[in-house]
């Protein structure tokens, strides 16, 4: 029963956090319409999926941390999974830079059109989850 309540509590915390973050996103959208400055929305769109990935892994991370062992980083997991996910998360934004046309997979990802947004969201969630998962206790 305690395990069930723990899961329900975490679902409520995660859902509330996502709800509040999306309300903040709406606020940023209104501010961007007034000021014609989209930088804050772009930063939010980069950070929010990472935040969700961290939130999804956080319950297990905290449970592992209670062991009070010395922590270490799983560099292989970080390099093999997290770095490519971070690259795909940043790719739409990097494509507007001066070296954007030289990046690998730029044309393929941007050719996806509207699904590019979903692709970057998934990459951000994976990056946040793996980033939290790479720390071992």
Residue 111 lies in a domain: yes
In whole angstroms, what is the distance from residue 10 CA to residue 56 CA? 9
The answer to whether position 31 is within a domain reads: no
Instruction: Specify if 51 maps to a domain.
Output: yes
Q: Has residue 3 been placed in a domain?
A: no
Phi, psi of 111 (to 5 degrees): -70, -15
CA pair distance 134, 126, nearest whole angstrom: 12
Task: Cite the beta strand spans of 46-112 per DSSP E.
Answer: 72-73
Structure tokens at 20: 């509040």
CA terminus-to-terminus distance, the chain: 26
11 domain-assigned: no
Q: Is residue 14 part of a domain?
A: no
Domain span at residue 92?
39-136
pLDDT score, position 113 = 64
Q: What is the pTM of this model?
A: 0.81
How many of the other CB atoms lie within 10 Å of CB of 118? 10
Q: Tens of pLDDT along 62-106? A: 887 776 677 788 899 999 999 999 988 888 777 777 666 667 766
Banded model confidence at residue 6, pLDDT cuts 50, 70, 90: confident
**Number of domains comprising the chain:** 1
Within 8 A by CB and 6+ apart from 129, the residues are: 53, 54, 56, 57
Q: What percent of the chain has pLDDT over 90?
A: 31
Q: Report pLDDT for 23.
A: 93
Q: Is residue 17 part of a domain?
A: no
Q: Is residue 30 assigned to a domain? A: no
CB-CB contact of 126 with 81 (8 Å): yes
Beta strands in 1-137 (DSSP E): 72-73, 135-136
At 22, list the tokens.
């999306």
């Amino acid at each position: 029963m305690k395990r069930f309540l723990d899961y329900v509590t975490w679902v409520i915390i995660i859902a509330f956090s996502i709800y509040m973050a999306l309300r903040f996103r709406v606020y940023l959208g209104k501010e961007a319409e007034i000021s014609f400055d989209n930088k804050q929305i772009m930063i939010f769109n980069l950070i929010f999926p990472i935040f969700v990935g961290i939130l999804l892994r956080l319950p297990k991370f905290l449970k592992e941390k209670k062991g009070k062992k010395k922590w270490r980083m799983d560099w292989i997991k970080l390099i093999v999974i997290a770095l490519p996910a971070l690259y795909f998360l940043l790719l739409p934004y990097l494509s507007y830079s001066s070296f954007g046309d030289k990046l690998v997979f730029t044309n393929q990802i941007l050719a996806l059109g509207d699904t590019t947004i979903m692709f970057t969201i998934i990459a951000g969630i994976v990056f946040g989850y793996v980033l939290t998962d790479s720390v071992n206790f």
